[in-house]
């Protein structure tokens, strides 16, 4: 139920920017596919879905406040906006800190410190590799997949989509 409420809030934030909305749904789909493949316990899945739903939620305010959606601004505003949304929908306080941390660090590889963050990283990259220049160089792309993907399901999805 928190998932549906968070999706409604996400749609409100991105109502004038459907690109972000579509991107978010694509990332959520991959996150859920990875969770299924990795047999993540049901009780942990909602939390990871919420991370995916809110991961780019700071983009609009980053542009409004800083004039740029560059990673550090998006992370900073995302940490705040995700927390506000989760508080508004009544999500348990003890779980909000973790989501806010992941959203607030989601562009920073060195901050990955758990399977929830790793799944978010892989789901986002599965979508974003589509437009990365590295795609045109097969060897570099292989290396990028090796460096970034850790879950068996994520590796399989990345190879199927980008190396076949």
List of residues contacting Fe ion (CB under 5 A): 56, 124
Contact 158, 134 (CB under 8 A): no
> Tokens 């920017």, residue?
17
Least Å distance, CB 26 to Fe ion, is 9
- Residue closer to Fe ion (CB basis): 93 or 128: 128
Q: How far is the CB of 27 from Fe ion (least distance, A)?
A: 5
* Closer by beta carbon to Fe ion, 56 or else 151: 56
Cβ 153 to Fe ion shortest distance, Å: 19
Which residue's CB is nearer to Fe ion, number 75 or number 124?
Answer: 124
For Fe ion, which is the closer residue by CB, 95 or 107? 107
Closest CA to 65 of 76, 79, 50, 51: 76
Least spacing, CB of residue 120 vs Fe ion, in Å: 9
Interatomic CA distance for residues 34 and 8, integer angstroms = 23
Determine the Cα–Cα distance for residues 52 and 48; give it in Å rounded to an integer.
6
Q: Please state, as a whole number, how many other Cβ atoms lie within 10 Å of the Cβ of residue 164.
A: 5
Minimum Å distance from CB 1 to Fe ion? 24
Nearer to Fe ion, 92 or 101 (CB): 101
Helices (H) and strands (E) in the chain, counts: 9, 0
Closest CA to 30 of 133, 146, 118, 91: 118
Element (H, E) at 140: helix 138-148
């Amino acid at each position: 139920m928190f998932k549906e409420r968070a999706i409604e809030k996400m749609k409100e934030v991105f109502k004038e920017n459907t690109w972000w909305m579509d991107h978010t749904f694509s990332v959520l789909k991959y996150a859920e596919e990875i969770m299924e493949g990795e047999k993540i316990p049901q009780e942990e899945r909602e939390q990871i879905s919420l991370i995916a739903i809110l991961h780019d939620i700071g983009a609009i305010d980053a542009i409004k406040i800083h004039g740029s959606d560059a990673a550090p601004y998006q992370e900073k505003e995302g940490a705040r906006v995700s927390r506000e949304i989760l508080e508004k929908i009544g999500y348990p306080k003890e779980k909000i800190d973790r989501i806010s941390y992941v959203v607030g660090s989601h562009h920073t590889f060195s901050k990955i410190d758990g399977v929830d963050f790793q799944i978010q990283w892989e789901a986002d990259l599965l979508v974003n590799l589509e437009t990365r220049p590295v795609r045109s160089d097969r060897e570099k792309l292989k290396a990028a997949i090796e460096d970034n993907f850790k879950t068996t399901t994520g590796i399989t999805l990345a190879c199927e989509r980008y190396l076949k």
